[in-house]
Structure 1
Amino acid sequence: MPSLLSRAVPAYLRVVRANRPFISAEGAREHIRERSLRPQAYGPPRLLRSDVTIEVRRENGWPIYTLTPRSGHARGNVVYCHGGGWVNEVARQHWQLAADVAAEAGTTVTVPIYPLIPYGTADQVIPAFANLVRANRDQYGEVCLAGDSAGGQIALSTAVLLRDEQQPAAPRTVLISPALDLSLSNPEILTIQSEDPWLGRDGGLVLGDHWRGSLSITDPLVSPLFADFTGLGPLTVFCGTRDILLPDTRIMVGKARAAGVEVDYHEAPELVHVYPLTPTPEGSEARMLIIDALRGALTPATSPA
């Protein structure tokens, strides 16, 4: 049974009307307009972890943040793709997870501030993420990918594009409640909709249509569920059962395993969208699993004696 805090999360989300941008097409259009008129701040919180340093540079118009542990030798790199429906900026929870990964997994974490809809689109953003991963490989060595929700779509589509370009597979890609099929055509979505206090199909269709840009909604750079998963690196995946993205996540896990991809899948009964980012015992446990997975992927294997 979920913890008391986790059981309180759906009620809180309903009180603050977290689903307003997603539950209706009109709500999504109004949210896009509001974000266009009044862009959100994206910088890291002033009080993050004191054992992590933060630097920022600008590449091709994007602010690119790098978080580095102050102590020890940082191994490799994680490119973190933040969620927010492709329309909301990076949030405090994303920064906190990025800082925890940097400090506790002993790695550098790159957080790109990518352009959001209606200005940013998948046909522009995904190739730019792939370019960033290639550049980080030259600088840091091994590079993992991670992302939540819309950022999970970006992370997995980037991994697919790099595979198609015959680049080395990421040693680990972490997907937190990933958006996988932006057509939202899975009939099971409607069954779960009444239980999901956060996401909605009607608004999600509007956001996805903006995000695809010039690409088809079924292009793997938009909807990675339609990709061939052969040759991708290992995946660590999280999803709660009160999340309309659950049916497609289950399909993706099965499809990846059938293609020979190692998948570490964590399905949490009665928990909401992106539950690893929530301030709950289950969220804390999931964050430790994420840190352990990335640390293990970036730590050189020891040779047998």
Structure 2
Amino acid sequence: MPARDDALHPEVAEALERGGPVVALESTLIAHGLPRPTNLEVARRAEQEVRAAGAVPATIAVIGGRLRIGLSDAELDRLAGRDGVLKAGRRDLAPAISAGRDAATTVSATLWIARRAGIPVFATGGLGGVHRGAAESFDISTDLDELARADGCLVVCSGAKTILDLPATLEALETRGVLVVGYRTGEWPAFTERGSGLPLEHRVESAEQAAALVAAHRSLGVPGAVVLAQPVPEAEAVAAGRMESGLSSALAEARRRKIVGKALTPFLLGRIHEGSGGESLTANAALIVENAALAARVAVRLSEREESGR
């Protein structure tokens, strides 16, 4: 079912009508993933990079109980500056809308909404996945299942968040048949660190190669999304292994305070930002912007291929 017309920002609606390139962007990074004022600065920079590459940004959220696909600058500012914004996965959308809430959409919700609206390219920071200790807690992100359902979509990210069990997350993606491709890397990125030591079978070297791969994936009708994994820029990357020491203490504190579920990820990321002296925050901001730019370049190439009939 397509999105209602009133959910679409006019610029996004016009681009979709003419078959132009559009890139979906999530809003949890604005409300929950980054501190103020960095959150608003990064959201604006990501949109600017999408425009600079020739595509239209469509940041997705729920504003006052209304689904919004493409936000005004005032709406970005509203999400960035308010406390109490709901963190909404796919299952939380109806409660947010019925209660008239503001809600920032996670990867699972953003990807579902984007696909429903006919936007097949999505950029984010790090994916959710299998949490450490999931064998006991069963804490596994809905992102994984939504990626398996998102037939023909492209998701650009920097791997999965470092707080997760990265080998188990990569294995879970493989089990669900989700194609993971490295962008100029043969290694699964580790969010704010450039590599995890986990090899990837497939890689591409350019936006054009990525577009050709996605087009082939779509033409075959293979289920699931294509995950294009781009390492954080080298200049802003956190040194390998540095995150692990801070994460151990943050996990222990979370257990003591019984912080679980949707609250766990922002808590852990906040503690890691504090413990790294700002390094992880700088890296997180840089990779979000770079992923938006790459997604836009691939979206433009895909649009050009469709126009030429290739």
Q: Whose helix fraction is larger, Structure 1's or Structure 2's?
A: 2
Same fold (TM over 0.5): no
Task: Give the shorter-chain TM-score range.
Answer: 0.3 to 0.5
The TM-score, its normalising length taken from structure 2, stands at 0.41
Q: Whose strand fraction is larger, Structure 1's or Structure 2's?
A: 1
